[in-house]
Amino acid sequence: MKAHGIVRGVYQYFRASQDPIAQADLLIEKVGTFQPGDLPPFIDCETLDGQDAATFIANMKIWLDRVKTRTGITPLIYATRSFWHDDLGDPTVTNDGLWVANWNVSAPRIPDEWSNWVFWQNSATGTVAGIGSGNCDLDLFNGSATDLVNWANARTASAIQVP
The 10s digit of each residue's pLDDT in 53-105 is 999 999 999 999 999 999 999 999 999 999 999 999 988 886 778 999 999 99
Give the pLDDT band (50/70/90) at residue 139: very high
In order of their start, the domains of the chain are: 2-152 (3.20.20.80)
Q: Is the pLDDT of residue 154 over 80?
A: yes
**End-to-end Cα spacing for the chain:** 25
Residues 148 and 39: their CA atoms lie apart, in Å, by: 9
Highest mean pLDDT, choosing among 12-16, 34-38, 124-128: 12-16
Q: How much is the pLDDT for 94? A: 66
Average pLDDT (32-53) is 94
Q: Is the pLDDT of residue 163 over 70?
A: no
Give the rounded percent of residues in the chain with a pLDDT score beyond 70. 98
Report the mean per-residue pLDDT for the chain: 92
* Four-CA torsion 43, 48, 54, 56, nearest 10 degrees: -30
Instruction: List phi, psi (to 5°) of 38.
Output: -75, 155
CB 102 within 8 A of CB 81: yes
Q: How much is the pLDDT for 6? A: 86
Q: Out of 56-60, 129-133, 145-149, which region has the weakest mean confidence (pLDDT)?
A: 129-133
Residues 79 and 45: their CA atoms lie apart, in Å, by: 5
Residues 67 and 159: their CA atoms lie apart, in Å, by: 11
Q: How much is the pLDDT for 161? A: 66
Residues 117 and 94: their CA atoms lie apart, in Å, by: 15
Global pTM value: 0.92
Q: How much is the pLDDT for 65? A: 95
Assign 70 to helix, strand or coil: helix
Residues 30 and 91: their CA atoms lie apart, in Å, by: 29
